[in-house]
A and B are shown apart, each in its own frame.
Chain A
């Protein structure tokens, strides 16, 4: 026993010593492999309680002839995001897919991205397929996002679908105090299939160009978009840190012969307009580590207050007719003609983000409001996040809408909602 004790002690010392030195070693993922194949994604399990506004024209349109008597509705869904990539030297293939489960039945994938890329050098890259682009500097709105999917200002970070395109990028750095970097992006945009689900007119191929400069400490982009029978768009954006804790950004887009939908003579009509949409914003970090994002957005295509009231009256008239076919057609027309997250002309957006408030570890609070400056309606929302384990997140997300019956946020089909999200990453 006496002999054993020193041996145990030595073994213990040796093992502990090894353990200490191993603390400073770590495995490096996918290191030095010739070709990289990688998959990742996340599963979001979402459960929500929503309070219906039964008198809202939009509720009556969307829930026409349904058997629901309950003011409070619940919604359960599983959102599954599955991403894959294959890279071998200069060649890459990328996929981002999305699946939503709401009830038993076949689930079709939506491909947010599906493209191949050829990265010849750090200066030159090109690719072909369905790809997402993110033009603009705004957080909640992007008037110069000509090739972006439209953001949902209530959830600007939500993954969105891409656009079928061929792209070419050229990027060059300069050893100059003024111009430090310049890049050029050119996009060819084939028209989506129009006939027999496979063909489209070659003459409808679009073109989008972007020129970027890092000029001293300012990011500046100039962009344009052109396609037959669509508005011509010319824009610029900028972003810079004016202080270590204060960033400012802006976007301006001039759109010629844009199409504006409106209601006249009890019907949805269109007219051509030209003019500018723009956005200005700041991102500010306080001493308490709170990030404040504030933005003002002017939407030139948006409806005036009276025009929005006419849209609601039009929907009510159609629903009150009781004609099922007419209501279904109205639902389709409304979705097609007013396919936007921002119906009206002027919005203010303010978001406050606080990591680990009150010293609560792994938690975060975000609160934001979107205020319609034309009819004084608004939404208030808060996101309470908690990440107790690696690759797991819990979100509690209440949202309230305020405004009178003929206002944008006051006429939403739901007056309030609370969602709980469980997110698993892999």
Chain B
């Protein structure tokens, strides 16, 4: 009988924990849907602030389709205008008009400098790249531990704070496999973009590895829009501006 009790306890624990984990993944999926709709376009401004107070600013036009297709066109400054980046799942390319052809880049690099890297700016849904489990539940927040599903993901672990009522992400901490905190993303300025799209318009990033640096990503004119699959191809990258 004692043996059966043991078996029952182990089974219950396994079922309970898997259900618990599935619940966390459901919340992650819903948080993703709130942050990034299925198919949309947006304009984004990236401000890189240096320790001496100086700033570098970029403006992008971005489009996304499905869970793993993202493309982005640089609109300013003039020195970077016309560059574009494409992400299809783990594949990432950079197109520079003078170089003339898309070259493969990695998610760890930063094509714009500052604290944001390529995977932050060309981010896919969190639920595509991470498996979620509950760390803690407070009265107002879910705190999730996210573990990378594959080795090709930029950060091994994330800790995510999600508002219970709105299911909007409030903060994400990004960790290396060693447990070192790489950067913190704070989601601010909840804004109604229309068509039921209510989400943070500003993401601020700081990193203990880059003391004194701060990067701010501001969303504007985020709109639901359908795109053909062919928009997210190497052939189309140089023509991305036609979508505007």
Query: A residues bordering B, Cβ < 8 Å?
Result: 24-26, 28-32, 36, 40, 42, 87, 119, 121-123, 125, 132-136, 139, 157-159, 169, 171-173, 175, 180-181, 183, 212, 214, 217, 219, 239-241, 243-245, 247, 249, 283, 285, 289, 291, 355-356, 361, 387, 390-391, 393, 425-426
Contacts and interface: CB of A to CB of B under 8 A. Distances in A.
A132 to B, nearest CB: 6
B106 A245 contact: yes
B233 A171 contact: yes
A144 to B, nearest CB: 12
16 contacts: A32-B244, A40-B78, A122-B239, A123-B230, A135-B101, A139-B103, A157-B99, A169-B235, A173-B229, A217-B91, A244-B107, A283-B103, A387-B79, A391-B77, A393-B79, A425-B77
Given A24-B218, A244-B151, A183 B77 contact: no
B123 interface: no
Nearest to B189: A24
Given A87-B242, A135-B101, 16 more contacts: A24-B202, A24-B218, A29-B59, A122-B230, A123-B230, A136-B101, A139-B103, A157-B99, A171-B230, A171-B235, A173-B233, A180-B88, A181-B235, A214-B91, A219-B104, A361-B52
A121 B90 CA distance: 27
A183 B235 contact: yes
B75 interface: yes
Closest 10 CB pairs of A and B: A173-B229, A134-B100, A134-B101, A425-B79, A122-B230, A171-B235, A26-B45, A183-B235, A425-B78, A247-B104
Contacts of A172: 230
Contacts of A390: 56-57, 77, 79
Contact of A181 (B43, B96, B233): B233
A122 B244 contact: no
The winner among B89, B108, B154, B229 for most chain A CB atoms within 10 A is B229
A241 B104 contact: yes
Contacts of B76: 29
B79 to A, nearest CB: 4
Interface string B74-112: 011111011000001111000010111101101111000
Judged by DSSP, the binding face of A is loop
Nearest to B232: A173
Contacts of B104: 219, 239-241, 247, 249, 283
Given A134-B99, A134-B101, A122 B75 contact: no
A391 B78 CA distance: 6
Nearest to A29: B75
A239 B241 CA distance: 26
Interface of B: 43, 45, 50, 52, 56-57, 59, 75-79, 81-82, 88-91, 96, 98-101, 103-104, 106-109, 113, 151-152, 154, 189, 201-202, 218, 220-221, 228-236, 239, 241-242, 244
Contacts of B106: 241, 244-245, 247, 285
Given A28-B59, A241-B90, A183 B234 contact: yes
Given A87-B241, A87-B242, A171 B236 contact: yes
Nearest to B77: A390
Nearest to B236: A122
A402 B234 CA distance: 40
B180 to A, nearest CB: 12
Contacts of A245: 106, 108
A85 B78 CA distance: 14
Nearest to A148: B100
Nearest to B213: A361
Contact of B244 (A25, A31, A249, A426): A31
A119 B242 contact: yes
Contact of A28 (B98, B109, B152, B221): B221
Contacts of B232: 173
Given A122-B228, A173-B229, A356-B113, A212 B78 contact: no
B235 to A, nearest CB: 4
Contacts of A355: 113
A183 B233 contact: yes
A158 B106 CA distance: 23
Nearest to B202: A24
B176 to A, nearest CB: 10
A393 B244 CA distance: 29
A158 B96 CA distance: 12
A28 B43 contact: yes
Nearest to A185: B235
Contacts of B189: 24
A365 to B, nearest CB: 15
Nearest to A293: B103
Nearest to A96: B97
The winner among B79, B81, B82, B96 for most chain A CB atoms within 10 A is B79
A97 to B, nearest CB: 14
Nearest to B188: A24
Contacts of B235: 169, 171, 181, 183, 212
Contact of B234 (A32, A214, A393): A214
A393 B79 CA distance: 9
